[in-house]
Chain A
Amino acid sequence: MKLREIAHSRTGDKGNTSNISVIAYDQRHYPLLRREVTADRVKTLFSGIVHGGVVRYELPNIGALNFVMQQALGGGVTRSLALDAHGKGLSSALLDLEIDETDASEDA
């Protein structure tokens, strides 16, 4: 299953740092997000784009994760050579992630 089936996402930019939220449509899927969408997987997915660390913050109240990726925007939005200097489209790439949908509720 693709992450897109159970979660939505938005990218934000500050300087050379990008953040991507991953939010469960249904709160019941939050444990699955926590288990499947790790900082390591996000770092691997974006290895050609993100050159710094990836930190994950957890927001159980709203069923969301927030990934903060350093050195992710081609030197910073104001100087990047990239077509999408803000990295707006990174959230769409992340939602294409493959998720193992085996019940994760007991891991919660």
Chain B
Amino acid sequence: MKTVRIGSGAGYSGDRIEPAVELAEKGDIHYLGFECLAERTIALAQQDKMKNPAAGYDPLLEPRMRAVLAVCRSNGIKIITNMGAANPTAAAARTAEIAHNLGIRGLRIAAVSGDDVLDVCRQGDFSFLEIEGRVSDLGNRVLSANAYLGAEPIAQALAAGADVVITGRVGDPALFLAPLIHEFGWAMDDWERLGKGTVVGHLLECAGQITGGYFADPGHKDIAGLARLGFPIAEVNQDGDLVITKVPGSGGAVTEATCKEQLLYEVHDPARYVQPDVVADFSQVTIREIGPDRVRLEGGRGKPRTGTLKVSVGYLDSYIGEGQLSYAGPGALDRGRLALDIVRERLKLTGVRTTETRFDLIGVDSLHGAGISQGREPYEVRIRVVGRTDSLAEAVRIGNEVETLYTNGPAGGGGAFKSAREVVAVASVLLPRDLATPAITYVEA
């Protein structure tokens, strides 16, 4: 039976580049997917595009493409990625230039767009799922609205002979489901197989998180070779049967435990994993190690897709100001607490208006609060004051008040850090499916 081998070359925008090259050189793969688009990234990319119409794609598109285009071309590997972000057509044009500069000729590059539904969302009456209110309430603060498109336009581009497919927002698993639809001719209402293909995509989309990344816990869960972690390969057949493995000799490990953790990563109800193409059901999946770094997963299922697409709306939310400072040696904790009290009082005295604040002691209670953290005296402690404000100018003053502890605060405060930033936040709405129309354009190197 025919088997398709798909590699995952990135689990987030800033991910390591060499593991993808290793996959292309030694992975014996047919497809290489790169998932690089976090929830907020597309809103930031949209801001870039507004300043420059040729911008708005992933900042690492160029180094990634330069690293893999030639080897993928010579090994017949097709590339699928959402590095198009807010501007897939510009990303495709840039990729064609890079290919040309590398001496590659005849490379067919597809750009999948149509996920931008900002106008529709601005004009319609769409309530947010996670926060109060509607899109229209935010007025000019709304920066972007992108629907999670499905695998179909990617599969269509592959059928039209694309060697590289660059998308904007699509469901992350769709990047890996699409080549299976294309290779095996799965119907778009074959819910069972689309569900199995979604298991494949879900397991691959975070790259190293299934090969030993985000896993090691010395003495309990040891993983060798994390500095040269190998990225995963899925071997899939016509029926959606799946084996996860990695390049022999690379670092990390594929075990039942790494696969179980990733199967449930960012999953809510495992029987209802809602994707644009299918509602996948992970609840009956079984996981069995069949060899070194080879794990078989069976039992993925699917149910009919819903009538809506999830849309990520990016909006200007607020500003955050922050300052940090360290104290060490005997009495460090008391001096840290004194320092926090001083900044708390200073923010009041000087009239810095915040809508939310945190006063943390890093090394003591910053991650999980005083309740869970044990009250043991650390050798060193780092104070962290952070607050939400309505203006950048006020956010700046928070870090300034921490910094002035150098000469005005407790003894021995060192290593001040301060920052102030604009916050672009993301919230979701559901859009009737027919209000987003995918479009495919092609460019050739």
Contacts and interface: CB of A to CB of B under 8 A. Distances in A.
Interface of A: 4, 8-10, 12-17, 19, 21, 23, 25, 45-49, 57, 59, 61-64, 66, 68, 75-79, 81-84, 88-90, 93
Interface string B221-263: 1000000000000000000000000000000000001001111
Nearest to B209: A10
Nearest to A57: B270
A47 B371 CA distance: 9
A62 B203 CA distance: 15
22 contacts: A8-B221, A10-B262, A14-B268, A15-B130, A15-B426, A19-B264, A19-B266, A19-B267, A48-B368, A48-B369, A49-B368, A49-B369, A57-B269, A57-B283, A59-B283, A61-B285, A61-B299, A66-B270, A76-B130, A77-B39, A78-B39, A83-B367
Contacts of A79: 317-318, 388, 423, 425
Given A8-B221, A78-B424, A83 B265 contact: no
Nearest to B269: A57
B268 A17 contact: yes
Contact of B214 (A10, A23, A48, A83): A10
Nearest to A25: B257
A87 to B, nearest CB: 9
**Highest count of chain B CB atoms <10 Å: which of A14, A57, A93:** A57
A81 B386 contact: yes
Contacts, number: 123
**Highest count of chain A CB atoms <10 Å: which of B266, B287, B424:** B266
B220 A12 contact: no
B217 interface: yes
B423 A78 contact: yes
For chain B, what secondary structure do more than half of its interface residues adopt (helix, strand, loop), or is it mixed?
Answer: mixed
B163 interface: no
A25 B370 CA distance: 30
Contacts of B362: 83
B384 interface: yes
A67 B264 CA distance: 10
Contacts of A57: 268-271, 283
Interface of B: 39-40, 129-131, 214-215, 217, 220-221, 257, 260-271, 282-287, 299, 317-318, 320, 356-358, 360, 362, 366-372, 384, 386-388, 423-428
A64 B268 CA distance: 13
Identify the 8 closest CB pairs spanning chains A and B, nearest first. Answer: A12-B266, A21-B264, A10-B261, A79-B425, A78-B425, A48-B369, A48-B371, A12-B265
A81 B317 contact: no
Contact of A21 (B129, B131, B260, B284): B260
Nearest to B370: A48
A26 B353 CA distance: 53
A51 to B, nearest CB: 12
Nearest to A68: B268
**Highest count of chain A CB atoms <10 Å: which of B264, B282, B320:** B264
**Highest count of chain A CB atoms <10 Å: which of B263, B284, B386:** B263
B426 A76 contact: yes
Given A10-B215, A10-B262, 5 more contacts: A12-B267, A21-B260, A78-B317, A78-B424, A93-B367
Contact of A8 (B217, B320, B369, B386): B217
A78 B366 contact: no
Contacts of B215: 10
Contacts of B424: 78
Contacts of B428: 15
A64 B259 CA distance: 12
